[in-house]
Amino acid sequence: MTNVLVLWDIDGTLLAAGQDNAPHSRAIEEVVSGTEVEEFATDGMTDAQGATLHLDRAGLDEDLLPAVLERLDIHSHVYLTSGPLTALPGVNEALNFVASLGATNALLTGNTPARAINKLRGAGIDTELIAWEDSFFGGNAKSREVVTHRARDRFPERRIVVIGDTPLDGQAANEAGLDFLGVTTGLYGAEDLTGAGAFLVIEDLVSGLDELGEALS
């Protein structure tokens, strides 16, 4: 049995990516009425990082960030009702499998806790399989590195494996001395993730389950 802490990314790793329709522009437009903000991809960024970049590109003041983050949180309730998100194939099975190895399933995400919980519930992922108290949330963090360092500082001796779909997941993991396992269910391919320091890249959580198990043993 293993005492590994597995820290899962959410978008593109547990959930199909890109289903969240223009959350930043909607949030900013509610804070500053009359503005129109163009949405762009923020894969791998924290909520604060993505929102700040949207404010910058729209020529708006970064001081608006707390209000924008609050609107993002408020809107995450829609994941539960009108537009349920889709879990990627094999997610609940993979979480059960990892737990059966004696490892702990937790999250390392750029989302706030509210957004993370609502996304997982909306996608039908069994939230009982997640150790929320051992999870790390970077909704307010400037970058993902801040969050991976928090994980390292809290569990200095423990083997920690970050599972994610973007080079930013890999860079942040390695920067803090955490292992990075890449999965190509987001926007990036195996070369991108290996280049970002992945010790293993799997195609998805169904075909890659055995390799994932071996990597955690």
In the complex, minimum distance from the CB of residue 199 to Mg ion, in angstroms, rounded to a whole number: 18
Residue number, 47 or 165, with CB nearest to Mg ion? 165
Q: Residues 163, 13: contact at Cβ < 8 Å?
A: yes
9-17, 76-84, 134-142, 208-216 -> range binding Mg ion (CB under 5 A): 9-17
Cα–Cα distance, 29 to 105 (Å, whole number) = 36
Among 12, 50, 167, 170, binds Mg ion (CB under 5 A): 12
Span interacting with Mg ion, options 52-60, 147-155, 158-166, 203-211, rule CB under 5 A: 158-166
Which lies closer to Mg ion via its Cβ, residue 11 or residue 73?
Answer: 11
Cβ proximity to Mg ion, 9 vs 134, nearer residue: 9
* From 20, 47, 165, 192, residue interacting with Mg ion (rule: CB under 5 A): 165
Residue 131, Ramachandran bin (φ over 0: left; ψ between -120 and 50: alpha; else beta): beta
31/94 with CB nearer Mg ion: 94
Cβ 63 to Mg ion shortest distance, Å: 28
Asked whether position 20 contacts Mg ion by CB under 5 A, the answer is no
The owner of tokens 């939230």 is: 127
Point out which residues pair with 161 in neighbouring strands: 6, 179
Provide the token pair at 29: 């437009």
Stretch that binds Mg ion, among 82-90, 96-104, 136-144, 157-165 (CB under 5 A): 157-165
* Gap between the Cα atoms of 206 and 212, Å rounded: 10
11 binds Mg ion per the rule CB under 5 A: yes
- Beta strand 200-202 with 160-164 is unpaired
CB 173 to Mg ion: min, Å: 12
Q: Which of 8, 9, 42, 115 is close enough to bind Mg ion by CB under 5 A?
A: 9
Nearest distance from residue 153's CB to Mg ion, in Å?
23
Least separation in angstroms between CB 10 and Mg ion: 6
Q: Which residues bind Mg ion (CB under 5 A)?
A: 9, 11-12, 165
